[in-house]
Amino acid sequence: MTPLTLSGSTAGPPQTFPALLDLLEARPQPALIWYGAGQGEERVELSGRVLQNWTVKLIGLFDQESEIEADDAVLIHAAAHWKAAAVLLAAGALGWKISVIDPGAPQSDQEGLAAAVTAQQPGLVVTERPGDWTGSGTWGQLLGDAELAALSPGLLDASFEEATGQRLPAWALDISAEVRQHPDQLPAPLPPRELSEVPVPEGARSELGTAAGRGGGLVVVGASPQAPLQDWGLTHWGAPDLLPQMLETWAQSRPVVLFPGDPTAQPQTWEQMLRNEAVR
């Protein structure tokens, strides 16, 4: 198989998805850090190399098991999680038009989900709650002819059913059960898709282009952020420019920190995270 490689000079931040994946692969430092929202205050850290590995496997999985093409609409219906972030990066590399909605978002956001699904008619829904999209589930009538992929949260999950106790329809893609079977290298190089080609709605570019001027990385929270950070970027999971901000941060060899909770509702956990990651 032909490995995923970057041709030409590597000077300066990467401008394409293949170049970004090459950069991540070469970095043993943290690229993605996730804080669990539960009482255990779980923390999972993925180096650039591990994030790249997961992303390449996901690209291979979607390329073989999905009929979605570049520029097709895809919905990621999952909370802020390291595995969902890897799916987001893989989807961007494949050229998909991505929307992200947290299943635990307020009712207004849930109404927005229904409107978004109706308007965009995604060809694929990647979700941590597949039961919501099948049968008499909350969004069952909205799925239509779209493909469905289930995302379980564990690092070592053998299948969605093993991790959650919920059985999937035979036609749904079980990411946990299938992704590990895919090689660590792609069978063919990715197209040199520019990072800047990721679509961003008009008026949502206020923070783009600022990563190079920051000393720190990017913090992604589960709720809309209130006050900006001093030297780190700050956005929320589901923001229209979420993926471009994450891409810019990784291109600068800086980490993305996922904090699924609401900082105002979890002030002690929030402050502990800021100290742990030296966020200012």
In a domain, 55, yes or no: yes
Model-level pTM greater than 0.75?
yes
Instruction: Report residue 249: phi and psi, to 5°.
Output: -65, -50
Provide the Cα torsion 47, 50, 51, 56; round to 10°: 160
| pLDDT tens by residue, 211-242 | 777 889 999 999 888 788 999 999 999 999 99
- Of the candidate ranges 1-10, 28-37, 137-146, 220-229, the one whose mean pLDDT is the lowest: 1-10
Q: Provide the β-strand partners of residue 98.
A: 74
In a domain, 1, yes or no: no
**pLDDT tier at 150 (50, 70, 90 boundaries)?**
very high
* Three-class secondary structure of residue 180 per DSSP: coil
Domain with 128, as residue range(s), is 17-36+46-276
Which CATH number does the domain housing residue 88 bear?
A: 3.40.50.12780
Rg (CA), the chain: 18
**pLDDT tier at 204 (50, 70, 90 boundaries)?**
low
The pLDDT of residue 56 is above 50: yes
Number of structural domains the chain divides into:
1
In a domain, 3, yes or no: no
The pLDDT of residue 2 is above 80: no
Write out the two tokens for 274: 């800021």
In a domain, 217, yes or no: yes
DSSP letters of 204-256? --TTTT-GGG-SS-EEEESS---S--SSSEEEETT-TTHHHHHHHHHHTT--E
What does the alpha-carbon distance between residue 262 and residue 257 come to, in Å, rounded to a whole number? Answer: 14
In a domain, 73, yes or no: yes
**Strands in 93-183 per DSSP E:** 97-101, 124-127, 147-150, 173-174
Which pLDDT does position 8 carry in this prediction?
Answer: 39
Q: How many CB atoms lie within 10 A of CB 241?
A: 20
In a domain, 9, yes or no: no
In a domain, 92, yes or no: yes
